[in-house]
Amino acid sequence: MDSYLGWIIMEKTNLPSDKEDTAMMVISMFVREAIISDLFSLEVLSLNDPVEMKSKKGNEYLTKLYFEETVTMNEDGRYKVSLPWKGDNLPLTINKEIAMKRLETSTRKLLHENLSTAYDDVFKEWASLRIIENDPVESSSRHHEHYLPLRPVLKQWSNKGVPSL
């Protein structure tokens, strides 16, 4: 058998034993899934690079500081939190076309299975419970947009027998 460590030869022995002979197979499967760079990693030996640990603690401190500076409470008593971004992030694509196609496909499926009314009722209930809300800002006035192409999840066994996201 070929592995990251080279060829491994396995053979059943004729020695009497009470145990099943799965140990060699498990070891060879583990070796097969190993990443070569992990073989040279200090973390494997429970040794951590001090520079990396210091950098991680510094990032955690900066993230906490950013959170404390940006967290606010709106007039409804809800917290508003800004997400911390690393400096080298690329802008997200808009994804509007993909999201619209997914919406059309999902709508057709819900209409075909006669679940559109039940699905709509779930969203109306969520809106009344303030789990979800309409976005009050017009899309054209935004600087950053990103559409999430979601799929409907059909759960016939739920208490309402209808899907949810």
- Summarize pLDDT for 124-157 with one digit per residue, the tens: 998 999 888 887 666 555 567 778 877 777 666 5
How confident is the model at residue 101, as a pLDDT?
92
Helical residues (DSSP H) of 9-137, grouped into ranges: 23-33, 36-39, 50-70, 96-112, 116-128
How confident is the model at residue 104, as a pLDDT?
92
Q: Are strands 72-73 and 2-3 parallel, antiparallel or unpaired?
A: unpaired
pTM of the model: 0.42
Cα–Cα dist 69/26, whole Å: 50
The percentage of the chain sitting over the pLDDT mark of 90, rounded to a whole number, equals 6
* pLDDT digits 0-9 by tens, 85-121: 766 667 778 888 998 999 899 889 889 888 888 888 8
How confident is the model at residue 119, as a pLDDT?
85
More confident residue, 38 or 3: 38
More confident residue, 100 or 83: 100
How confident is the model at residue 95, as a pLDDT?
86
Helical residues (DSSP H) of 11-49, grouped into ranges: 23-33, 36-39
Read off the pLDDT band of 10 (50, 70, 90): low
Read off the pLDDT band of 58 (50, 70, 90): confident
Cα–Cα dist 44/38, whole Å: 7
Question: In this structure, which amino acid lies at residue 160?
Answer: K
Q: What are the residue boundaries of the structural domains of the chain, listed by start?
A: 50-81, 91-137+144-149
Mean pLDDT of the chain: 73
